[in-house]
């Protein structure tokens, strides 16, 4: 496991405080958004325990997260699985002793809490500081954990709504995108397989060098790089992804520059364009990811189109009018 200088400094800080101060203990408080006092108290207790456990596990140098038997009930089965899979990809800690955030009520009755700061031990110094979204069920148990979009990216999407229905749909889009991103960090191949339509269109671009010796004289002045696109089936994509997960001990996706477009005639189909930073044990790249997401089944949205393009070729940024978007596909 790679440990950055940032992490070493943070752990030293935690370990050199006075004996009376327990900086491995994190107190989480809900500022507003939850009127049910019992639910509020349950969420605060569950989140505080989880964050404190992350810190104590890091300080103790343990490879696995262990909870006292009575604390296991603070997680659902899915919530505990998610925590363990995230930890297996990268141990993490909360760098602050007090976190105060509001609760966000979702349409399905769950509650989300965003902007919980964490530090990923396996990440490099530029990408180790991230934020979590923690989802709680109606009993205050932790049911899901996602790595969040940056707050200003989240607000850009949410604040663009034009109606109550559009607001809820945009919440669902962010929820989907953050779950999708976190599934790669967790190497959750089952989740990724399930969210792709069986007949999904998958296009991947790569930069290739042109052999100028084989060009005619009229083409000699052209640039020496071009993007080649390859189509693959869902089965081919999933099989390649399995190999990627097996060959990388650590994967961290970061989504940036998110743009959301609703289909002009189908209000259940959205296009999402993201700038994706892929960082893993063996490979890193930056490119544009486009997803066409069908929300016809609101509880089970699916990806109908996925494309990826490198962000640069011939030393220049990919022109925005060449980036795949919703209006380039017929439905």
pLDDT in tens, 4-48: 544 554 555 454 443 334 558 999 999 999 999 999 999 999 999
The CATH architecture of the domain made up of 189-328 is: Roll (3.10)
Helices 37-60, 5-15: crossing angle, 10 deg rounding: 100
Confidence grade of residue 59 (pLDDT, cut at 50, 70, 90): very high
Of 76, 78, 81, 87, nearest to 53 by C-alpha is 87
**145/254 Cα distance (integer angstroms):** 16
Give the closest residue to 180 by CA, choosing from 100, 92, 253. Answer: 253
Segments making up each domain of the chain, as ranges: 5-148, 189-328
**What are the angstrom distances between the C-alpha of 285 and each of 79, 206, 252, 254, 312?**
30, 11, 11, 11, 10
Q: Which CATH class is domain 5-148?
A: alpha beta
CA distances for 257 relative to 150, 153, 157, 196, 317, angstroms: 10, 7, 10, 23, 14
From CA 292, how far away is CA 290, in angstroms rounded?
7
Give me 323's structure tokens.
């980036």
pLDDT value at 273 more than 60: yes
Q: Which residue did the predictor score with more confidence, 96 or 220?
A: 96
> Does 5-148 match 189-328 in CATH topology?
yes
Query: Strands 98-101 and 27-30: what pairing?
Result: parallel
């Amino acid at each position: 496991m790679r440990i950055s200088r940032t992490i070493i400094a943070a752990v030293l800080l935690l370990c050199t405080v006075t004996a009376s101060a327990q900086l491995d203990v994190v107190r989480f408080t809900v500022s507003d958004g939850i009127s049910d006092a019992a639910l509020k108290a349950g969420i605060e207790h569950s989140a505080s325990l989880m964050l404190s456990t992350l810190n104590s596990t890091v300080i103790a140098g343990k490879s696995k997260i262990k909870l006292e038997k009575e604390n296991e009930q603070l997680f659902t089965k899915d919530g505990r699985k998610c925590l363990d899979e995230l930890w297996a990809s990268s141990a993490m800690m909360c760098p602050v002793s007090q976190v105060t955030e509001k609760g966000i009520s979702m349409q399905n009755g769950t509650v989300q809490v965003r902007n919980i700061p964490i530090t990923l031990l396996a990440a490099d110094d530029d990408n180790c500081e991230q934020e979590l979204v923690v989802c709680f069920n109606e009993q205050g148990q932790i049911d899901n954990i996602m790595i969040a979009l940056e707050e200003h990216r989240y607000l850009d999407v949410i604040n663009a709504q034009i109606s109550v229905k559009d607001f809820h749909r945009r919440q669902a889009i962010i929820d989907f995108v953050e779950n999708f991103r976190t599934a790669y960090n967790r190497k959750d191949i089952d989740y990724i397989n399930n969210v792709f339509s069986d007949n999904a269109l998958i296009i991947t671009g790569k930069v290739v060098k042109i052999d100028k010796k084989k060009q005619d004289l009229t083409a000699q002045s052209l640039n020496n790089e071009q993007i080649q696109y390859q189509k693959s089936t869902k089965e081919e994509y999933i099989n390649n992804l399995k190999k990627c997960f097996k060959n990388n001990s650590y994967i961290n996706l970061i989504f940036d520059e998110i743009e959301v477009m609703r289909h002009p005639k189908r209000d259940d189909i959205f296009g999402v364009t993201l700038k994706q930073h892929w960082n893993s044990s063996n490979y890193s790249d930056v490119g544009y990811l486009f997803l066409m997401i069908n929300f016809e089944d609101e509880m089970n949205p699916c990806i109908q189109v996925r494309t990826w393009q490198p962000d640069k070729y011939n030393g220049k940024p990919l022109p925005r009018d060449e980036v795949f978007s919703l209006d380039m596909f017929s439905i």
